[in-house]
Chain A
């Protein structure tokens, strides 16, 4: 799998991003912007179930109005995230946290557009308050999990059994530059 992924490193878009001094931080910033709006809009809907935030507005009304904001932010996060992955596929493939992040992300998206959507958009009288709270808390835990696992990517890349070819070693400086970037302050 890794040799296959290494070939992707030579795709023009990956090379353009790697050769630029500013494209990588710009795409990372876009990814963080998308994530912030995504988390913010989901948080506002979920807080409502705990009687916090927009507590005077019916939950379904809050959820319905914020749905386009959440969806737009999710699309921005996924597109920018895919570009980040393209810059160095073997690095992400070999990262210990990357598969966890993708798994939690998959679960979060699935939950968001099935159970969460159904419960948050339902008429208040039809929903057991305890069930509403449980759904809201699960959604928060899943999305915070995505953010936590995502932040850790780049820190644990010594995946056991992951064959890193000579190409990656040759590009070791790029890998290190990325890592120092991730640990720089912002």
Chain B
């Protein structure tokens, strides 16, 4: 089964149709998806900014990341569920949208960046935890995270404009 065939099948399911044709559910899911940005992007950006020596720079990196990452994950879960349900209602439109494809690509890159950072650079966090100026690799991970997630936000907004 090709990806397009899968999207066509998904679009035809009762659940997808129910969301698509509902008066309130679609705009509510859409709004939850946008509001959750404050939790997800808001908290992850404070962690990323800490890596760049901006914001909570007097606190250890591990303290900022440790205390705020659960909130980032909660925001991500809300975004994934609401976004997944919105996708369910219009998978063919998403399949045909260049902006949506770019969004998925940028999300994978953002996830990969976070994974690489936690498996490599972050392992030596005790060494640079309290420093305002931290290793270049950690700063690079922070910049990449901010740029990639901002890219996800922009490409997501462009899907609604038929890009």
Contacts and interface: CB of A to CB of B under 8 A. Distances in A.
Contacts of A148: 31, 35
Given A65-B58, A186-B34, 4 more contacts: A40-B41, A54-B59, A56-B63, A61-B58
A54 B63 contact: yes
B159 interface: yes
30 contacts: A29-B154, A29-B157, A32-B37, A32-B153, A35-B37, A40-B39, A40-B43, A40-B45, A41-B42, A41-B46, A43-B43, A43-B71, A44-B46, A53-B68, A53-B71, A54-B56, A54-B59, A54-B63, A57-B56, A65-B56, A66-B46, A68-B55, A151-B34, A182-B160, A183-B26, A184-B160, A185-B160, A186-B30, A186-B156, A186-B160
A62 B39 CA distance: 17
Nearest to A43: B42
B31 A36 contact: no
A33 B42 CA distance: 9
B43 to A, nearest CB: 5
Interface string B51-71: 000111111000110011001
Interface string A109-152: 00000000000000000000000000000000000100110010
The 5 closest A-B pairs by CB, nearest first: A40-B42, A184-B160, A39-B38, A186-B156, A36-B41
Instruction: Give the interface SS of chain A, mostly helix, strand, loop or mixed.
Output: helix
Nearest to A186: B156
Interface string A9-47: 000000000000110111011001101111111011001
B35 A41 contact: no
Contacts, number: 135
Contacts of A21: 161
B161 A147 contact: no
Interface in B91-134: 94
A32 B157 contact: yes
A86 B115 CA distance: 42
A185 B43 contact: no
B86 interface: yes
B144 interface: no
